[in-house]
Amino acid sequence: MPPPYKRHVFVCTNRRPEGNPKGCCASKGAEEVRAAFKEEMDKRGLKGGMRANAAGCLDTCAFGVAVVVYPEGTWYGGVKVEDVPEIVDQHLVNGRPVERLMMPFSRKEKAGS
Amino acid sequence: MPPPYKRHVFVCTNRRPEGNPKGCCASKGAEEVRAAFKEEMDKRGLKGGMRANAAGCLDTCAFGVAVVVYPEGTWYGGVKVEDVPEIVDQHLVNGRPVERLMMPFSRKEKAGS
């Protein structure tokens, strides 16, 4: 009975048909990003206490690959496989969200809080 | 640019092949539950401030249809279409999670907190 998770990561893996003007996270490498989260979590023995979940459309298509981390509600955009170790180490393990990868509204919220 | 959401609802819509011993939320009506969340949110003018998201497997298959609400991290199990208005009114709008529908670990956490 694994949850509740200390941190629950949702990666948008939505796929739209080729040529859709909105684009989609799947075409930008979302499955690879999710696999990287799982792998980096496993490497650090975090499995069970955290989860890298697939999600349907997170409605932030312009910022794909889109990732949201709860319970903080930190939104990351344009996430690439090579960004994942930094998010895992700095945010998931040490609780310091990675400013440079946040979506604009997530940054603004933090700045204003 | 809609998020951050006041409440972000994830409904497991994972489908496993027929006959898989774990079962799956999809075969228990997960898509209908998600549609009901969207409809009840729309009816109450909550669209934009909240979101009913599809999710991949939430790893709580024994309790499907599985739903988790963030930022609280409240886990609901065995959710049926007819439960959705109560969750929307009582929890999403009024901030009082629906105890009778919580998964056991979610109840225990609340009781111990």
Task: Give the gap in angstroms from C-alpha B38 to the nearest C-alpha of chain A.
Answer: 14
Residue B86 has pLDDT above 90, yes or no: yes
Residue B15 has pLDDT above 90, yes or no: yes
Reported as a pLDDT band with limits 50, 70 and 90, residue A113 is: very low
- Asked whether the beta carbons of A76 and A67 are under 8 A apart, the reply is yes
* Least CB–CB distance from A75: residue in B4, B68, B106: B4
Could you tell me which residues of chain A have a Cβ less than 8 Å from any Cβ in chain B? 1-5, 8, 10, 13, 51, 53-60, 68, 70-73, 75, 103-106, 109
Note the pLDDT of residue B3.
78
What is the 3-class SS of B16-35, one letter each residue?
A: CCCCCCCCCCHHHCHHHHHH
Q: How many Cα atoms are found within 13 Å in the side-chain-facing hemisphere of B76?
A: 28
**Which of residues B109 and A85 earns the better pLDDT score?**
A85
ipTM comes to 0.93
pLDDT per position as a tens digit, B40-50: 999 999 999 99
Domains of chain B: 15-112 (3.40.30.10)
Q: Which residues pair with A107 in a beta bridge?
A: none
CB-based contacts of B62: which residues, under 8 Å, 6+ apart?
none
